[in-house]
Chains A and B, each alone.
Chain A
Amino acid sequence: MSSVPVARASRGGRPPSLVTRRRVRGIAGLVIGVGGFLLVWTLLSALIFGPFTLPPPSRIGSVMWEIVRSGQFIHHFVPTILRLAYGFGLALLIGFPVGYLMGTSRWWRAFFHDMTIVAGSIPGITYAVLALVVFGIKILGPILSVGLVSMPYVAINVAEGLDSVDHRLVQMSDAYGRRRASIVRNVLIPSVAPFAFAGVRLSFALAWKVEQLTEVFGSSSGVGFQIRHEFEDFSIPGMLAWVLLFVIFMILVERFVLAKLERYLFRWRLEDRP
């Protein structure tokens, strides 16, 4: 009789947990998805366009590897990422006070209304070419275009966040005699934070494209500059390699850094009641 549990254990022990199964399925999905992408590309390259017009993935892959290996990657990514970071810093620095005004005063909301609403439909090329004229080929151009693109999203979301503040929590704090600074820190900021973060995530997808476009139009370093450079050299593989490196990098940042950070910062929203 003692052989029964042994036999059961040898058949694979406990069934895999839900988390493991989900993770396995996620990885399998990614493999199939990336495989599908490469397959479509290879087919297009071989059957329709030909290897000169659309180089196959293997060719682009080797160019990408060369870019990474030679240190070019670091050399041009660092300035691009730094400009992005400065631009976002600027957007937060101005977007927060503007959002605060919009969220707390009807007059200021009306004042900024048209600017923030219109900002969503302005084509990205506008920021790139205006930065070119106003600031020439200087480091300031890309930073300002990132800031200008992201600011309205941050402001609108901060205003929405202020609208969502639960006044009953403010009342509770008053009843317990909390000071204003303490209420701001413990009630207002945590209420607004998820909205502000959503605004940042929303604008991030747009901002890096506009930044890179600004670099294409006028910059002497950065990924956009390299794309322009390869274009002027008539090098399709070089151009695609730079673009793909950048796009993959940004998708990774969005999916892993920003999504993980959001999940950590707002873990209190997870409802796993006993």
Chain B
Amino acid sequence: MATLRVEHLNKTFPAIERGSDATTAIDDLSFEIGGHVFVSVVGPSGCGKSTLLNIVSGIETATHGSVSVSEDGSPARLGYVFQEPRLLPWRTVMQNMLYVLEGEDVPDRARDYLRMVGLDDAGGKFPAQLSGGMQQRVGIARAFAVEPDLLLMDEPFSHLDAITARSLREQLQGIWTEAKKTVLFVTHDIAEAVQLSNRVLILAPGGRLFADLPIELPYPRKASDTEVAMAQAELLRRFEEMQEETDAARATDVAS
């Protein structure tokens, strides 16, 4: 388990055409997470959630500020679950697992994690032979199999049908409890955030941190639990607050 420290992070994309403004995706964002926690980042679309994950994973670079992931001083290992499965279509499920793994006992490890997502007999199949939900499960197994210090998940269930997504959310809680990983989970679905995480960061448009809320409920949680529903209502209230605040700010902007 690692510590992720984000300090005064800023990411600005340059103007695409001349005359248009540069867009700020993340603005002065600071937070720290560590230990066996499941942290969700929620916010409206375009508030820089995915950009945050890309900067943490090193796919993109920050404009200002810093991001550090450390595991007792040594560089941390990362796992990443994307919106789409992102499997290599020309490799079997097993080969896809082995592609990202290094070290000894690698095939055994791959098999263990496939078993964890219930796909122990799919190792010899090509991704095209699996359903969308199964492919996403392979993506999850792959991320856990690298035994990451920090696991990044970018709306991993948003492309799946509601029933498959619901069952995968329940499975994910089990896997996370068992594997004891630090998870940073990005979503625009408040119900999903409440059901899965024990801490929720709300980002406002423009990538500013609006609220940092703990959710202290025992696992496993079901979407239909009363406590989960109540926490959801509380979170929604904060969201509306944020909405009003943004609208008011925009109104004064227009007025001036």
Contact = CB atoms under 8 A, between A and B. Distances in A.
Q: Do chains A and B touch in the complex (CB under 8 A)?
A: yes
Interface of A: 168-169, 171-178, 182, 186-187, 190, 266-274
A273 B128 contact: yes
B85 to A, nearest CB: 10
Contacts of A177: 78
Interface in B89-105: 89-91, 99-100
B162 interface: no
B176 interface: no
B129 A274 contact: yes
B122 to A, nearest CB: 10
Given A175-B80, A178-B99, A273-B130, A190 B90 contact: yes
Classify the secondary structure of B's interface with A: loop
B128 A172 contact: no
Contact of A268 (B57, B86, B126, B146): B126
B19 interface: no
A176 B82 contact: no
A255 B100 CA distance: 38
Interface of B: 57-59, 78-80, 82, 84, 86, 88-91, 99-100, 126-131, 146, 152
B84 to A, nearest CB: 7
Nearest to A267: B126
A176 B126 contact: no
Contacts of B78: 175-177
Given A175-B80, A176-B146, A274-B131, A268 B90 contact: yes
Contact of A175 (B57, B84, B126, B130): B57
Given A268-B128, A270-B128, A169 B86 contact: yes
Contacts of A274: 129-131
B94 to A, nearest CB: 13
Given A270-B128, A272-B129, A273-B130, A168 B86 contact: yes
14 contacts: A169-B86, A172-B82, A174-B57, A175-B80, A176-B78, A176-B80, A176-B100, A186-B99, A190-B90, A268-B126, A270-B126, A271-B128, A271-B129, A273-B131
A168 B57 contact: no
Nearest to A190: B90
Contacts of A273: 128-131
Given A176-B80, A176-B146, A169 B129 contact: no
B58 A175 contact: yes
Given A176-B80, A190-B88, 11 more contacts: A168-B86, A171-B86, A173-B99, A174-B58, A176-B100, A176-B146, A177-B78, A182-B99, A268-B90, A269-B128, A274-B129
Contacts of A171: 59, 86
B186 to A, nearest CB: 14
Contacts of A178: 99-100
By Cβ-Cβ distance, the 5 closest A-B pairs, closest first, are A190-B90, A176-B100, A175-B80, A172-B86, A268-B126
Interface centre among A168, A176, A270 (most CB of B within 10 A): A176
Contacts of B131: 273-274
